[in-house]
Amino acid sequence: MSPKTENRILATPIVLFLLVMLGFPAVLDILYSFSEVSFENLRSPTLNGGKNFIKVVNDPEFWAASWFSLKFGVATALSECILGLVLAVYLAPIIRKNNWMIAVLIMPMIIAPAMMGLMYRLVLHEFVGSLPHYLYLWLGDSPAFLSRENVFLTVFTIETLQWTPFAFLLIYMAYEAIPSEMREAASVDGTRPWRMFWFIEVPQMAPTLAVAFFIRFIDGFRVFDNIFVLTGAGAGGSTTSLSIYIYLSFFRSGDIGKALAASVILFCVAFVILFFAGRLLRRDRA
Partner 1 sequence: MKNKYKDLPRWIVFAIAAFVMNFPVISTLSTALKTNAEISRDPGLWVHAPTLNNFAVVLQVTERLNIFSYLHNSLVASLIGSILPILVCFPMAYAVARRGYGTDVIFPTVVNLRAMPLIIFAIPLYMMYQTVGLLDTRLGLGLILAVVNLPLALLLLINAINDVPYELDEAARMDGARIFTILVKVVFPICLPTLATVFIFSFITAWNEFLFGLMLTTSEAVPMTVGASFFFSSGGGGGQWGVAAAVIIVASLPPVVLGVLMYKHISRSMTAGAVKG
Residue 16 or residue 189: which is nearer to partner 1 going by CB? Answer: 16
Burial 1-33 (b: 16+ CB within 10 A, else e): eeeeeeeeeeeeeeeeeeeeeeeeeeeeeeebb
Residue 64 burial (CB < 10 Å; 0-12/13-18/19+)?
Answer: middle
Q: Is 10 in the site for partner 1 (CB under 8 A)?
A: yes
Q: Is 102 in the site for partner 1 (CB under 8 A)?
A: yes
Residue of 52, 79, 154, 164 interacting with partner 1 (CB under 8 A)? 164
Shortest distance, position 36 Cβ to partner 1, whole Å: 15
Q: Is 139 in the site for partner 1 (CB under 8 A)?
A: no
Binding mask 31-50 for partner 1 (x = CB under 8 A): -x---------xx-------
CB-based contact 73:242 (threshold 8 Å)? no
Q: Is 87 in the site for partner 1 (CB under 8 A)?
A: yes
Stretch of 57-65, 87-95, 148-156, 187-195 lying at the interface with partner 1 (CB under 8 A):
87-95
H/E stretch holding 278:
helix 256-285
Cα angle value 266/60/233 (rounded, 5°): 75
φ, ψ of residue 4 to 5 degrees: the values are: -65, -45
Find, among 205, 114, 230, 106, the residue nearest to 165 by Cα. Answer: 106
Q: How many residues bind partner 1 (CB under 8 A)?
A: 98
Residue of 78, 224, 237, 238 interacting with partner 1 (CB under 8 A)? 224
Q: What residues numbered 227-286 form the site for partner 1, per CB under 8 A?
A: 228-229, 242-243, 246-247, 250-251, 256, 259-260, 263-264, 266-267, 270, 274, 278
Q: What residues numbered 190-219 form the site for partner 1, per CB under 8 A?
A: 207-208, 211-212, 214-215, 218
Q: The dihedral of CA 125, 129, 131, 136: what is its sign?
A: positive
Residue 94 or residue 189: which is nearer to partner 1 going by CB? Answer: 94
Contacting residues for 201 by C-beta, under 8 A, at least 6 apart: 89, 175, 178, 183
Stretch of 26-34, 59-67, 146-154, 185-193 lying at the interface with partner 1 (CB under 8 A):
26-34
Q: Is 225 in the site for partner 1 (CB under 8 A)?
A: yes
Stretch of 25-33, 46-54, 148-156, 181-189 lying at the interface with partner 1 (CB under 8 A):
25-33
Shortest distance, position 195 Cβ to partner 1, whole Å: 21
CB-based contact 78:213 (threshold 8 Å)? yes
Residue of 40, 44, 46, 94 interacting with partner 1 (CB under 8 A)? 94
Q: State the SS3 of 11-53.
A: HHHHHHHHHHHHHHHHHHHHHHHCEECCCCCCCCCEECCCHHH
- E strands, 86-238, are none
Q: Which amino acid is at 140?
A: G
The CA-to-CA distance between both ends of the chain, in Å, stands at 35
Shortest distance, position 148 Cβ to partner 1, whole Å: 20
Q: What residues numbered 47-86 form the site for partner 1, per CB under 8 A?
A: none
φ, ψ of residue 47 to 5 degrees: the values are: -65, 140
Binding mask 104-133 for partner 1 (x = CB under 8 A): xxxxx-xxxxxxx-xxxxxx-x-xxxxxxx
Residue of 3, 140, 179, 190 interacting with partner 1 (CB under 8 A)? 3
